[in-house]
Structure 1
Amino acid sequence: MRVDLDAVASFSRTGDEGGQRAADSLETLTGIPANCQLTRTALVDADGLSVFLGDSWERISVEFDGALTGRAVLSFDEAFANHVEDELGVGAAALPEVANILTSGFVDVWAADDEDTIEIEPPDRLEDEHRVVQDAAVIDDCAFVFESQIVLSSTQGTCRFAVLPDVESFGSYVTEPDAEFALSDLANHIQVASVSAEAVSSHLEMMTGTDATLVESHVDFVPVERVPSLLDDAAYEGAIFESEGVVDSVIAILFDETEPGAVAELLLGDADAGAEMAESAVSELGNITASGFIDQWANALDTTIDISTPSHVRDAGRAVLDTVAAAYGERADTIAVVNATITLGPDVTCRVCTFPSPEDADQLADIADNLAADASEES
């Protein structure tokens, strides 16, 4: 059975509605305007799930059962937690209450069209990172995650609200007789992310002579209008490419530097290198890096995929991806995004976001299947 992006889109839209419902519930509780900045359906390597969810000042787990069974894992950063605790005036008891309210708001949307209800259990502080993946819907080491990022006005803090359904319940929920949707086929897409991330890391290390560390890789299925939210407003420098062949795609290879001139120093050994020289070096590095993993996609289907001349970009992350969203907005409601994050020493982070054309979903699934088969033979 092939992966149907329209089927994935229906679950993404439900998740989007659930995320906003959760934000509305939080606003009712606190009296502070709340907004859901990002919702996505993500496929994540199970071993890297806690890394995917990011550093957290505190995590709280809320189990639920009924029409859908699983857990919500809420990751609060310090600014968000302190703001909520101050507003509610109940100290440490505030976060479990917020977790309860957010989870209730989210699951109500999932239960709305089902005969069964969804009951939630009391919140539980999650002190062991190994418990993050517990009971998640995991197939072939791939975890399915519905994530929303909730923000409050007047604060920089964020709550990352992740729903991890258990595999049996999720499988029953999403594989209705009229839905062309198979969890195992979808899970294979994690191999596309893994192979791409490893190729990017290897090429970056070879080209820069700096140790490259793969932080995490995953695949997002996200509503097109939410694409810009996959990156923050930090300033990125990098290159944008288009590929043509069995899978057409847009590829963004972007560098976020903690210190001005760090990218130029890394590539040219001179933080004060001229702008034209630095731009050329960034574009060339992006070109070689993109070719490395796109060639592996092509090899999986015994074909070729051509890559365009790079376009240099320097802009806020959201602005860069806004252009991509505009390009795909009239062609699909939901798009798959292959993501990887790699660090190059202490001062440079590379983000790779690849946007295969929605029209090529079947070909991308074939690549995923073949890469998964190769990985199985090697293990």
Structure 2
Amino acid sequence: MKLDVNALGTFYRMAREGAGLAAGRLTHMTEVETQVGVTKLNFMRGREIRRDFEDANEKVAVRVKLTGAIEGYSMVVFERENALRVVETLLADSDSETDIDVDAGEFDEMTQSAVTEVGHIMNSGFIDGWADVLETVIDVSTPEFVEGVTAEPFFGEVDETPDEDDLALLFQSSIETVGTEIGFSHYLFPKRESMAALLDRLRTSGGIEYDKLDGFDRMAERGAEEVAKTATTLTGIDTSVEIRRLNFVSLEAIPEQVADETLVGVAFEFDGMPSGYLLFLFDEESAHEIVDAMVPMEVDEDGFGEMGTSAIKELGNIMASGFLDGWANVLDTTIDHSTPEFIHDMGAAAVDPVIIQLGENQEFAFVFDTVVMADGREFDCEVYAIPDENDLERALNNLDVDRIEETPTTAEFQELENS
């Protein structure tokens, strides 16, 4: 199976179109204004998908089986309280005198039926949007109501769910109701053979072999582990890599994923095969924790000053070397990165300069989205590695996947210039 950016771009537009139709139908049913959240094409391993469902929160889903142009399963997933709030909204103007208890332990026949109806209409909205973009027919089975606190009820009977270490293409969209706490996510688990046939139909260039992208994903995972080791060594704070996935998104959607709060971090441009951008972003509290750990004297609490800024840049510089040197070793090439540029800005503004630069030449991007967490301390680091799409295709076509596990990821650190 081969992937190319044009085909994936069509899939992305398909997902956005479906999300828009689903949002409109939810507005029509509930008379509550809705908005489409972030739409992603995720390349995720089975263990990461299951981890999303094993956060101790009870979830409710409506699942349908698809046949025709796309084969697989489509599933709308609510947090349990959100599902009941949707039902409350639906029944508020009806003749029913039933009071919905959001904290109730069980769904009764009426609430289960209402959630199933909502989920089915949402699934149909997504699927109709895909069918419109693909100009084809996709058939939908009778909806199935599913609930649970682990991944098993949702995926136990879904053959298309990947095994623990298998990489799968997963469509994920979210819709939120404006001014309320109601929201849900949508997942599509396409059958591999069905997706391969669609990709072949839509592909306009040579494309990337799927096993090469799988290999690059494993390579990025090793790079992220190197980042965590480096952060532990430099700060003395035990850190580990949490959830990491490879997203295919439109450039304009990347700022939507960034937390709407003041962020501190560093940005790099890297040059070689591939070229692109690398960002490390911390919330302010995490950044202060880093400075406290690295600077052996008190610094300005309200800002970062010269010493605080230098500490953040030094950490970012060494983490960037650990991340990119591993790529270069496996690809048997050279990747250089710029000196770190300090970032201290609100949410999307922290990534806008990078998006503007990339947007001159491309519409979409593969984004390696990593979270490095500190054990027991406030130190969460969002890592965004965004390679140039043309460089990435060339690099992956030359990738020997057997080298990935054999090649060391030893970093050669660059010295920071004193400012």
> Per the shorter chain, which TM-score range?
0.7 to 0.9
Unaligned runs of 5+ in 2: 92-97, 101-106, 408-419
CA deviation after TM superposition for structure 1 residue 54, in Å:
8.2
How large is the RMSD of aligned CA atoms in angstroms? 2.8
Q: Which residue of structure 2 lines up, in the alignment, with residue 40 of structure 1?
A: 40
CA deviation after TM superposition for structure 1 residue 255, in Å:
1.3
Identity of paired residues, percent? 26
Q: Which residue of structure 2 lines up, in the alignment, with residue 141 of structure 1?
A: 166
Q: Show the 5 A alignment for 1:23-102.
A: 23-52=23-52, 55=55, 56-67=57-68, 68-77=70-79, 80-81=82-83, 83-89=85-91, 91=100, 92=107, 93=111, 94-102=114-122
CA deviation after TM superposition for structure 1 residue 347, in Å:
1.6
Q: Which residue of structure 1 lines up, in the alignment, with residue 225 of structure 2?
A: 198
CA deviation after TM superposition for structure 1 residue 70, in Å:
2.0
* Residue range with higher mean Cα deviation, 235-244 or 315-324: 315-324
2:321 equivalent among 264, 282, 291: 291
User: Is the partner of 2:201 in helix, strand or coil?
Assistant: coil
CA contact (8 A) 1:2 1:362 kept: no
* Residue range with higher mean Cα deviation, 330-339 or 174-183: 174-183
Structure-1 separation of matches of 2:296 and 2:170 = 41
Structure-1 separation of matches of 2:245 and 2:403 = 19
Give a deviation string over 1:193-224, Cα, whole Å, max 9, x none: 31222122221222222221221111111012
CA deviation after TM superposition for structure 1 residue 177, in Å:
7.7
CA deviation after TM superposition for structure 1 residue 126, in Å:
3.8
Structure-2 separation of matches of 1:267 and 1:150 = 41
Query: Judging changes above 3 Å, is the alpha-carbon distance between structure 1 residues 290 and 335 closer, same or farther for their aligned structure 2 residues?
Result: same
Pair member with larger Rg: 2
**Runs in 1 of length 4+ with deviation above 6 angstroms?**
none
Query: Judging changes above 3 Å, is the alpha-carbon distance between structure 1 residues 205 and 184 closer, same or farther for their aligned structure 2 residues?
Result: same
* 2:259 pairs with 1:235: no
CA deviation after TM superposition for structure 1 residue 229, in Å:
1.6
CA contact (8 A) 2:261 2:347 kept: yes
Q: Which residue of structure 1 lines up, in the alignment, with residue 185 of structure 2?
A: 160
CA deviation after TM superposition for structure 1 residue 233, in Å:
0.9
* 2:135 pairs with 1:106: no
Structure-2 separation of matches of 1:16 and 1:77 = 22
* 2:208 pairs with 1:188: no
2:236 equivalent among 202, 209, 217: 209
Q: Show the 5 A alignment for 1:339-378.
A: 339-345=369-375, 346-366=377-397, 369-370=399-400, 372-375=401-404
CA deviation after TM superposition for structure 1 residue 119, in Å:
0.8
Which residue type is aligned with residue 234 of structure 1?
E
CA contact (8 A) 2:66 2:74 kept: no
User: Is the partner of 2:159 in helix, strand or coil?
Assistant: coil
Structure-2 separation of matches of 1:341 and 1:328 = 23
User: Is the partner of 1:355 in helix, strand or coil?
Assistant: strand
CA deviation after TM superposition for structure 1 residue 47, in Å:
1.0
User: Is the partner of 1:210 in helix, strand or coil?
Assistant: coil
Which residue type is aligned with residue 129 of structure 1?
A
* Residue range with higher mean Cα deviation, 303-312 or 124-133: 124-133
Structure-2 separation of matches of 1:239 and 1:178 = 36
Give a deviation string over 1:65-91, Cα, whole Å, max 9, x none: 212122234343467445423312374
Which residue type is aligned with residue 286 of structure 1?
G
CA deviation after TM superposition for structure 1 residue 327, in Å:
1.9
